[in-house]
Amino acid sequence: MMSSLEAYYSEIWNKVIDEIQNSGKIDKVILDSFYRTSTLVSLSSNKAIIVGSNEVSKQIMMKEIVMISELFESIDGNTNTCEILTQVEYSKLNIPSPAQQIHESSTHIPLSSTVLNYNNVLSEYRFDNFIVGASNRECHAAALGCAYDPGNIYTPLFIYGNSGLGKTHLLNSIGNFVLNSDPTKKVYYTSGLDFVEKVVNSIQNKTIDQLKKELYDIDVLLMDDIQFLAGKEKSHEIFFSLFNELVNNRKQIVITSDRHPTEIKGLEERLISRFSSGLSVGLDSPEFETAVAILRLKISNQVSDDVIIDDDVISYLASNFSKDVRSLEGCIKRLLFYAIQFSNRDHIDMALAIETFKGQVETPAEGQEVTVSLIQRVVADYYGLTKQQLISKSRTSNIANARQIAMYLCRYLIDLPFVKIGDEFGKRDHSTVMSACKKVEANLKKDAFYRQAINELEKQIKAK
Ligand code: ADP
Ligand code: MG
C-alpha cells in the first residue's frame, strides 16, 4: 500500500505532468510513456528528485528539466531545482524512500522536539529589493503596514494575483521586516503544500498535538498559496482552528493565493468568510515603467558591470515580457545565456535581442500587412502600455482609452468583424467592441488632439 507521503508525491508529480499536458508542449504519448511511468521520490524545500522509469525516460525528461523545475516552483513556490536520476543513480545516493522517510522520522523525532522551524523566512526577499509601481502599490502598502505593526492593522491580509507577480516576495519581506525589528518574534513561513505535508507527517508520526501547540505559538503566520489546502480535510480543519486562535490573540496572518478568496474552489465557506474580516488586495501585471525598473534592478544584481545592455533592449523586454515578473527575470537569463553562449559578446544590442527571442515575439517583416497584433503593439507602445495590459480586464481610464482606440483601428484598418475583434481583445463581447468604436468616433468628431493622435497611430502602423 502507498504511504501518504508517497501518495502526496504522486499527486504533486501528476499535477506537474497535467500542467505540461495542458500546455500542449509535449505529446500525450510521450508523457504517458516516459513521465507518468517515472516517480517523484523526494521534495525538499528547494529540490525535487525524480527517478526515471528507465534510461530513456531520464534522457527524455532531461531535455525539459528547466520547464519541469519551473513547474515545481510554480506549484509549491519553493522548490526551484530538480534532479532527474536513473534507478541506479538514485540507489547510490542512499536517500530513504518516501515510505522509509516516514518510518525513520517517526522513530527519530522525540515528541518533545520542535516540529516547526520558526523564523524560516527567505532572506533574499525583502522590501528593499521590491520595486513598487501602480500594479503592486496597494499590496506593498498593506504588506508594509502589517510588517510595521503586526496584528494591529488588518489581520488577515490576503494577497492574490497570478503566478510570478511577487506574492512570495512580499510575504517574506514581511517576515524579514518583523524579525529585523524584533528578533524575539516567532515568524513562520509556510505554503499550502508544505502545510499539508506537515500535517500528513505529524499524523503519521503522532506529533499532531505538538504541531498544533507550536502553531498556536506563532506571532506572524505567513501562508503562501493557500489554494493548495483545497480539498484537504484534515489540514483544512487544523488551519481553521489555527486561524481562529491567532486572530483572537491579535496575531498577524498573511495569506496569498493565485485567485480571490471567493474563487478558490474546495475551501470551506466558513474559512472564506473569515478572510473577509481582514483585507484582500490584488497584484496586477507590471506596467511598462515598473517592468523597466524591475529589469534594471535585476540586471544590476545579476549582470557584471562590463556587460552593456542598450536602453532599447530594456524597453523591448519590458513591453514583451511583462506578463509577470518571473518572465522578466527569465528573459534576462535567456538573453545573457544567448549572448555568452553563442556570440561571446558583452554588448547586448537590439539585433542580439531580436535574434535571442526569435519566434517568441512577433517581429514584423518589411511591408507586412496590418494585423491585429501589429495594431495592438503600436497602440500599446504609443501609450506606454504593454500588450497584456491592452487586452487585460483593467478598467483604468488610460488603459481603457488605448484599448478602445486599438479596437477602433482594427475595425477601420482591417475591417475585422466585431466578434473577431472581441476575441482578440481578451474574449470580450461584440457589443463592447461596438460601443468602443462608437465612443472613438464621437471623440474624433469633437476633439482635435484626439484626431491627431489617431492619425499618428495610423501612420505608425502603416509604416511598419
Ligand atoms: P509569486 O509568488 O506571485 O508567484 P514571486 O514572489 O515568487 O511570485 O516573484 C517571482 C520573482 O519575481 C521573484 O524572483 C521575485 O523576487 C521577483 N519579483 C516579483 N515582484 C517584484 C518586484 N516588484 N520587484 C522586484 N522583484 C520582484
Ligand atoms: Mg509564490
Question: Which CATH code of 3.40.50.1700, 3.30.360.10, 3.30.300.180, 3.40.50.300 fits the domain covering 4-106?
Answer: 3.30.300.180
Rounded to an integer, the average pLDDT of 45-54 is 86
User: What pLDDT is attached to residue 355?
Assistant: 87
Rounded to an integer, the average pLDDT of 315-336 is 91
Supply the mean pLDDT for the chain: 88
User: What pLDDT is attached to residue 362?
Assistant: 57
* CA 335 – ligand 1 centroid, Å: 19
Is the CB of 168 inside a 6 Å radius of any atom of ligand 1?
A: yes
Is cis: bond before 183, omega within 30 of 0? Answer: no
pLDDT confidence band for 463 (50 / 70 / 90): confident
Q: Which residue has the cell 495594431?
A: 375
Strand segments, DSSP code E, in 26-156 are: 39-43, 47-51, 81-85
CATH number of the structural domain 372-463: 1.10.1750.10
* CA 225 – ligand 2 centroid, Å: 7
User: What pLDDT is attached to residue 45?
Assistant: 62
Neighbours of 217 (CB within 10 A): 16
The pTM of the full predicted model, rounded to 2 decimals, is 0.62
The H or E element containing residue 62 is: helix 55-62
> Could you say which ligand is closest to the alpha carbon of residue 133?
1
Is the CB of 326 inside a 6 Å radius of any atom of ligand 1?
A: yes
Q: How far apart are CA 358 and CA 110, in angstroms?
A: 57
Strand segments, DSSP code E, in 103-217 are: 157-160, 187-191
User: What pLDDT is attached to residue 359?
Assistant: 75
Is the CB of 294 inside a 6 Å radius of any atom of ligand 1?
A: yes
Residue 367, pLDDT above cutoff 70: no
Q: Which residues contact 274 (CB under 8 A, 6 or more apart)?
A: 156, 243, 244, 247
Q: Which residue has the cell 463592447?
A: 432
User: What pLDDT is attached to residue 149?
Assistant: 93
Is the separation of the CB atoms in 139 and 281 below 8 Å? Answer: yes
CATH number of the structural domain 288-356: 1.10.8
User: What pLDDT is attached to residue 452?
Assistant: 87
* CA 167 – ligand 1 centroid, Å: 7
Instruction: State the pairing for strand pair 187-191/220-224.
Output: parallel
* CA 325 – ligand 1 centroid, Å: 6
**Domain boundaries, given as residue ranges, for the chain:** 4-106, 127-282, 288-356, 372-463
Rounded to an integer, the average pLDDT of 385-410 is 91
Closest CA to 142 of 119, 158, 124, 163: 158
Q: Which ligand 1 atom lies nearest to the CA of residue 130? A: 24
User: What pLDDT is attached to residue 106?
Assistant: 40
User: What pLDDT is attached to residue 103?
Assistant: 46
Residue 303, pLDDT above cutoff 90: no
> Could you say which ligand is closest to the alpha carbon of residue 325?
1
User: What pLDDT is attached to residue 2?
Assistant: 64
> Could you say which ligand is closest to the alpha carbon of residue 122?
1
User: What pLDDT is attached to residue 104?
Assistant: 43
User: What pLDDT is attached to residue 345?
Assistant: 77
Is the CB of 143 inside a 6 Å radius of any atom of ligand 1?
A: no
Which residue has the least CA distance to atom 7 on ligand 1? 168
Q: 250 to each of 150, 156, 157, 245, how far by Cα in Å?
A: 8, 10, 13, 9
Is the CB of 243 inside a 6 Å radius of any atom of ligand 1?
A: no
Is the CB of 77 inside a 6 Å radius of any atom of ligand 1?
A: yes
> Could you say which ligand is closest to the alpha carbon of residue 163?
1
Residue 238, pLDDT above cutoff 80: yes
* CA 326 – ligand 1 centroid, Å: 6
Is the separation of the CB atoms in 393 and 285 below 8 Å? Answer: no
Task: Spell out the alpha helix ranges (H) of 97-182.
Answer: 98-108, 137-148, 167-181
pLDDT confidence band for 366 (50 / 70 / 90): low
Is the separation of the CB atoms in 146 and 176 below 8 Å? Answer: no
Closest CA to 159 of 268, 254, 271: 254
Q: What percent of the chain has pLDDT over 90?
A: 56
Rounded to an integer, the average pLDDT of 132-143 is 94
Q: Which three cell numbers stand for residue 148?
A: 510595521
User: What pLDDT is attached to residue 112?
Assistant: 39
User: What pLDDT is attached to residue 309?
Assistant: 93
Residue 155, pLDDT above cutoff 70: yes
Is the separation of the CB atoms in 191 and 78 below 8 Å? Answer: yes
Report pLDDT digits (tens) over 81-123: 889 998 888 887 777 666 665 444 443 333 334 678 889 999 9
Rounded to an integer, the average pLDDT of 190-212 is 93
**Domain 127-282: which CATH class?**
alpha beta
For 354-420, give the DSSP string: HHHTBTTB--PPTTPPP-HHHHHHHHHHHTT--HHHHHSS---HHHHHHHHHHHHHHHHHH---HHH
* CA 122 – ligand 1 centroid, Å: 12
For residue 287, the 8-state DSSP code is P
Burial 406-429 (b: 16+ CB within 10 A, else e): bbbbbbebbebebeebbebbeebe
Is the separation of the CB atoms in 166 and 325 below 8 Å? Answer: yes
Is the separation of the CB atoms in 79 and 50 below 8 Å? Answer: no
Q: How far apart are CA 200 and CA 196, in angstroms?
A: 6
Q: How far apart are CA 257 and CA 424, in angstroms?
A: 28
Q: Which residues contact 399 (CB under 8 A, 6 or more apart)?
A: 383, 385, 389, 390, 392
Residue 344, pLDDT above cutoff 90: no
User: What pLDDT is attached to residue 114?
Assistant: 64
* CA 102 – ligand 2 centroid, Å: 27
Neighbours of 233 (CB within 10 A): 9
Residue 356, pLDDT above cutoff 80: yes
Q: How far apart are CA 450 and CA 186, in angstroms?
A: 57
Is the separation of the CB atoms in 444 and 454 below 8 Å? Answer: yes
Residue 296, pLDDT above cutoff 70: yes
Higher pLDDT, 17 or 277: 17
Q: How far apart are CA 387 and CA 391, in angstroms?
A: 7
Question: What are the residues facing 68 on neighbouring strands?
Answer: none
Q: How far apart are CA 190 and CA 117, in angstroms?
A: 10
pLDDT confidence band for 234 (50 / 70 / 90): very high
